[in-house]
Amino acid sequence: MLNHLDGVFHALADPTRRSMVERLADGDASVSELARPMAMSLPAVIQHLQVLEASGLVRSRKVGRVRTCSLDRSAFDRAEAWFTDRRITWNERLDRLGDFLADDEQASTAK
C-alpha cells in the first residue's frame, strides 16, 4: 500500500497536477479541456497527466482522436484509509498520554 501512496503523494505534490485533479472532480474532461487554462504546452500537460495516471489517480480512454480523463476514486479511497489509520493511531496515543499525565498529576497532588 505504501508504494501506491508514494505515487499518489508524488503526483499531488505538484500544483499543476492538483489543479487538474480539482478540474476532474467536476467531471470527465478531454486533454485539451484540461490544457486550456494551463500556461504550458500540450506536451507538458500530457506529461503531468502521465504522472497522474501512473499514480492511479486518473484514468484515460481514447475515442477517435479525443483522449478523455477521469478520476479513479478508489485511489483516493486508499489514501483516505491510510490517513484514517494514522489519525486513529495518533488519537489513541494522545489519549494514553492524557491518561498518563492525569494519573501523574493525581499522584503528585496526593503526596
Q: Express each pLDDT in 23-67 by its tens digit.
A: 999 999 999 999 999 999 999 999 999 999 999 999 999 999 999
pLDDT of residue 111: 66
- 7 contact partners, CB below 8 Å, separation of at least 6: 54, 55, 56
Type of residue found at 101: L
Structural domains in the chain (count): 1
CA 39 – CA 50 distance, rounded (Å): 18
- Using the predicted structure, report yes or no on whether residue 2 has a pLDDT greater than 60: no
Q: Are 9 and 57 in contact (CB under 8 A)?
A: no
pLDDT of residue 29: 97
Q: Are 49 and 20 in contact (CB under 8 A)?
A: yes
Which residues form the domain of 106? 2-110
Question: Taking the model in full, what pTM does it have?
Answer: 0.76
